[in-house]
Amino acid sequence: MYTVSVRDHFMIAHSFSGAVFGPAQRLHGATFVVDLEFRRADLDASGIVVDIGRAGEALRAILGELNFRNLDDAPEFRGRNTTTEFLARVLFDRVAAALKRGDLGAEASGVSAMRVTLHESHVASASYEASIS
Amino acid sequence: MYTVSVRDHFMIAHSFSGAVFGPAQRLHGATFVVDLEFRRADLDASGIVVDIGRAGEALRAILGELNFRNLDDAPEFRGRNTTTEFLARVLFDRVAAALKRGDLGAEASGVSAMRVTLHESHVASASYEASIS
Amino acid sequence: MYTVSVRDHFMIAHSFSGAVFGPAQRLHGATFVVDLEFRRADLDASGIVVDIGRAGEALRAILGELNFRNLDDAPEFRGRNTTTEFLARVLFDRVAAALKRGDLGAEASGVSAMRVTLHESHVASASYEASIS
Amino acid sequence: MYTVSVRDHFMIAHSFSGAVFGPAQRLHGATFVVDLEFRRADLDASGIVVDIGRAGEALRAILGELNFRNLDDAPEFRGRNTTTEFLARVLFDRVAAALKRGDLGAEASGVSAMRVTLHESHVASASYEASIS
Amino acid sequence: MYTVSVRDHFMIAHSFSGAVFGPAQRLHGATFVVDLEFRRADLDASGIVVDIGRAGEALRAILGELNFRNLDDAPEFRGRNTTTEFLARVLFDRVAAALKRGDLGAEASGVSAMRVTLHESHVASASYEASIS
Amino acid sequence: MYTVSVRDHFMIAHSFSGAVFGPAQRLHGATFVVDLEFRRADLDASGIVVDIGRAGEALRAILGELNFRNLDDAPEFRGRNTTTEFLARVLFDRVAAALKRGDLGAEASGVSAMRVTLHESHVASASYEASIS
């Protein structure tokens, strides 16, 4: 199995609901450094997993939808805690949709799985990984 | 599959038995930077894999049992080489026991697998991962 | 010249005023990973620059004043842009005051300079350094 | 499952064929920081996955075959794009062959899988992983 | 003294002349991860050292002049070894010229010193720093 | 001012004397990841600060004197706390002596200052820097 990974980041404000979050129930924020991994069993004719240039652009565009925002005001997240693990899944779904739309090129259809990891500090991270149906 | 990871460290002295270890047969020591990963298929009602605050406290308590010790003097490791990979397993078992005791909260019972990685330098690390039965 | 450095982090929300900030004029947030460096010409009688345990506790206490807050609501920052470089100075001044109060121990009076660095992502950081008068 | 990982690096020149590579079609180069992971279900009698000293030497020898070379001139890669993911596979195959020859010691025959990761910058990496038959 | 730092990278081929370089006399290549630091005594009216957006764009443009090239073919480096430390100076001079041209904005004229660091691997780096006259 | 830096590591056991050290008064150990920086005003005729190959070998030899040892048994450190900052100075002095002996080559006599940094974990480090007389 081959994997290719690209990294970028975004910066948001948010707050959490629930006593489990302690002081993180207050409005605060985070920088998320994002690693996006693409997996496939065989390389394409060019010898790549995915066009890393287009992958980086797709990631940047998707992070741009969230970057410099207060996620508490985002209608699509209403009633949800935008935890690091939750956001990993949100980004996974958006990249998977981009992949299906062909935003990463026709050859990228060979990608069979992805993993999205969000590093929220030097000591904590979360990720979501799944097959691409 | 979701993963959440927390990091901490501990510092110990030890020595190894066996020609394969070369100069590491002498009493020396190591800093181990530990990444503890929790995995589960779905998030709990709060939108998390595990309470990261309690996870960090549990990890700190478990590392505290080893921190600033000479492992050659630890009765529980008598006759064993406390290699990086061996210690990854020791920590895995202790965190798994804490999880079962409920130290990480009732919701943490949804955790289905864990991985413990010990970085012993900028060029070497070892880990142990398994399902939680 | 000797230097000792300790690392911790904090997570805040804020917004900036001024066209130079572009989309960062919106309410967003950041994780700041903080490196606090203490400098002195000679070691104390114990062979240290500063008691690293107390240094870490002092840093944690000072970051705790800002952690999980919206800095736009902080009276002490009214009318100021809480940029990374500005916050580096704020932290410098607060650690310097702690040092003078003796929070880091009597021996820490030998510290002659400090540097505070805030890493806001994997690609950007800012710092403030100065002598301790 | 246990994993042990060692890190080293090599520096090469190369160029790529195909419009998908854009400016990387020109002769350029890369530093590849390599993480080589060995996996096995149980530790050997010494308490290790593999002799980390011999593993490091084997990796260094294999990287030495490529280090400080222009891969466009390497007969074994004629007609192939030496992409990061392709090179991860090349290194995997060469380490697997070394393992089978016994270069890592008789005990290393217990290794059941490997992963080779090449970091080409602070924002991009690729890997190849497979079972050892 | 305040410092702001931004990071980017470039990938080149080159070779060196002189027995001191050993196998690096052959055509090979490198990824250089670049940290560009700007220093000034006081913040500007916006509370910044330099517009980090423009600084990043300026750095990207300057690295673009070298990226994906064989430096052995660059007329401006004829007869010179393009070592890591030499390239740190080249980048310093080009950023300093951009600063003087006003590419980073009028406020950036307050920058009094810069440092450029090139990381060529996980174990080696070089830098050049100087005042801006 | 130019700087070149090389990295290596060593692993030791030791204990400290003095209540300020708390549990670190017990025999424990550490991995120290070492960054060794050489500084000079101008490059030599080859375009380098120092022969990085010889610098790496010199560092490895000097770390080899301490590696895999219990520093409490080292006669040269009797009655001293082998703290991270103290060891930074020890290494500085040994590298400076090697430099004067010509171990790094005749051209290395142009080095005017050095800095030695020891990273003892992901959150703590210490260094010693000085001019070379």
The one-letter code for the residue type at E113 is A
Q: CB E53 to CB C22 under 8 A?
A: yes
pLDDT in tens, A56-89: 999 999 999 999 999 999 999 999 999 999 999 9
Q: CA-CA distance, F133 to F118, in Å (whole number)?
A: 23
Longest dimension (CA), chain D: 53
By the CB < 8 Å criterion, does E53 face chain C?
yes
Q: CA-CA distance, D80 to F101, in Å (whole number)?
A: 49
pLDDT in tens, A18-60: 999 999 999 999 999 999 999 999 999 999 999 999 999 999 9
Name C131's Cβ contacts closer than 8 Å, sequence gap at least 6. C112, C113
Residue B120 pLDDT > 90: yes
- Using an 8 Å CB-CB cutoff, list chain C residues near E6: 123-124
Residue D7: what are its φ and ψ, rounded to 5°? Answer: -125, 140
Q: CA-CA distance, E82 to E60, in Å (whole number)?
A: 19
> DSSP character for C35?
E
List the chains bordering chain B where 3 or more Cβ pairs fall under 8 Å.
A, D, E, F
Angle at Cα C96 formed by Cα C93 and Cα C101, nearest 5°? 125
Q: From the candidates E16, E21, E31, which should be mutated to test the interface with D, based on the most D CB atoms within 10 A?
A: E31
Residue B106 pLDDT > 90: no
Q: Which of C20, C85, C130 sits opposite E43 (nearest CB)?
A: C85
CA of C107: which chain F residue's CA is closest? F20
Q: Give the Cβ contact number of residue E22 at 10 Å.
A: 12
Task: Transcribe B27-77 into DSSP letters.
Answer: SEEEEEEEEEEEEESS--TTS-SS-HHHHHHHHHHHHHTTTTEEGGG-GGG
Residue A133 pLDDT > 90: no
Mean pLDDT of chain D: 97
pLDDT in tens, D59-110: 999 999 999 999 999 999 999 999 999 999 999 999 999 999 999 998 899 9
- How far is Cα of residue A47 from the mean position of the Cα atoms in its chain? 25
| 3-class DSSP assignment, residue A60 | helix
Percent of chain B with pLDDT over 90: 96
Instruction: Report chain A's terminal Cα–Cα distance, integer Å.
Output: 17
pLDDT in tens, E51-92: 999 999 999 999 999 999 999 999 999 999 999 999 999 999
Q: CB E129 to CB F48 under 8 A?
A: no
Q: CA-CA distance, A2 to C45, in Å (whole number)?
A: 55
Q: Which of C100, C46, C95, C99 is nearest to F20 (CA)?
A: C46
Percent of chain D with pLDDT over 90: 96
Q: Which of B49, B63, B65 is nearest to B104 (CA)?
A: B49
Angle at Cα B16 formed by Cα B14 and Cα B21, nearest 5°? 130
> DSSP character for E83?
-
Interface of C with E in 76-105 (CB under 8 A): 80-86, 88-89
Q: CB A126 to CB B5 under 8 A?
A: yes
pLDDT in tens, F59-93: 999 999 999 999 999 999 999 999 999 999 999 99
Q: What is the pLDDT along chain C (133 residues), one digit of tens a residue?
A: 999 999 999 999 999 999 999 999 999 999 999 999 999 999 999 999 999 999 999 999 999 999 999 999 999 999 999 999 999 999 999 999 999 999 999 889 999 999 999 999 999 999 999 999 7
Which DSSP helix (H) or strand (E) runs through D48?
A: none
Residue E107 pLDDT > 90: no
Which DSSP helix (H) or strand (E) runs through A129?
A: strand A124-131
- Hunting for tokens 């900052």 — which residue is that? F85
By the CB < 8 Å criterion, does F125 face chain A?
no
Q: CB D124 to CB A5 under 8 A?
A: yes
pLDDT in tens, B70-84: 999 999 999 999 999
Percent of chain B with pLDDT over 70: 100
> Shortest Cα distance from D5 to chain E (angstroms)?
15
Angle at Cα F99 formed by Cα E124 and Cα E23, nearest 5°? 45
By the CB < 8 Å criterion, does C57 face chain A?
no
The one-letter code for the residue type at E131 is S
Q: Which of D1, D43, D56 sits opposite B86 (nearest CB)?
A: D43
Task: Transcribe chain F into DSSP letters.
Answer: -EEEEEEEEEEEEE---SGGGGGGGSSEEEEEEEEEEEEESS--TTS-SS-HHHHHHHHHHHHHTTTTEEGGG-GGGTTS---HHHHHHHHHHHHHHHHHHTTT-GGGGG--EEEEEEE-SSSEEEEEEEE--
β-pairing, D69-70 vs D2-14, is: parallel
Q: CB B46 to CB A81 under 8 A?
A: yes
- Using an 8 Å CB-CB cutoff, list chain B residues near A78: none
Q: Which of B7, B9, B30 sits opposite F29 (nearest CB)?
A: B30
pLDDT of residue D133: 74
By the CB < 8 Å criterion, does B119 face chain E?
no
Q: CB C70 to CB A33 under 8 A?
A: no
Instruction: Report chain E's terminal Cα–Cα distance, integer Å.
Output: 17
Residue B94 pLDDT > 90: yes
By the CB < 8 Å criterion, does D47 face chain B?
yes
Residue B40 pLDDT > 90: yes
Burial label for B102, CB within 10 Å (0-12, 13-18, 19+), is exposed
Q: CA-CA distance, C8 to F128, in Å (whole number)?
A: 22
pTM exceeds 0.95 for this model: yes
Q: CA-CA distance, D45 to F122, in Å (whole number)?
A: 32
Q: Is chain E touching chain A, with at least 3 CB–CB pairs below 8 Å?
A: no
Interface of F with C in 2-31 (CB under 8 A): 16, 18, 20-22
Name A79's Cβ contacts closer than 8 Å, sequence gap at least 6. none
Q: Which of A81, A127, A128 sits opposite B47 (nearest CB)?
A: A81
**Residues D65 and D89: beta-carbon distance below 8 Å:** no
Partners of residue B131 on adjacent β-strands? B113
**Residues E115 and F5: beta-carbon distance below 8 Å:** no
pLDDT in tens, F84-120: 999 999 999 999 999 999 999 988 999 999 999 999 9
pLDDT of residue A107: 85
User: What region does B105 belong to: left with phi over 0, alpha with psi -120 to 50, or beta?
Assistant: left
pLDDT in tens, F7-63: 999 999 999 999 999 999 999 999 999 999 999 999 999 999 999 999 999 999 999
The model's confidence at residue E35, banded by pLDDT at 50, 70 and 90, is: very high
**What is the arithmetic mean of pLDDT over B49-64?**
96
Structure tokens at B106: 């009732």
Burial label for F53, CB within 10 Å (0-12, 13-18, 19+), is middle
Percent of chain E with pLDDT over 70: 100
CA of E69: which chain D residue's CA is closest? D28
User: What region does E68 belong to: left with phi over 0, alpha with psi -120 to 50, or beta?
Assistant: left
By the CB < 8 Å criterion, does E122 face chain B?
yes
- Interface C-E, measured as beta-carbon pairs within 8 A, has a size of 58
> Shortest Cα distance from D121 to chain C (angstroms)?
12
Q: CB C53 to CB F22 under 8 A?
A: yes
- How far is Cα of residue C43 from the mean position of the Cα atoms in its chain? 23
Residue B133 pLDDT > 80: no
Residue length of chain E: 133
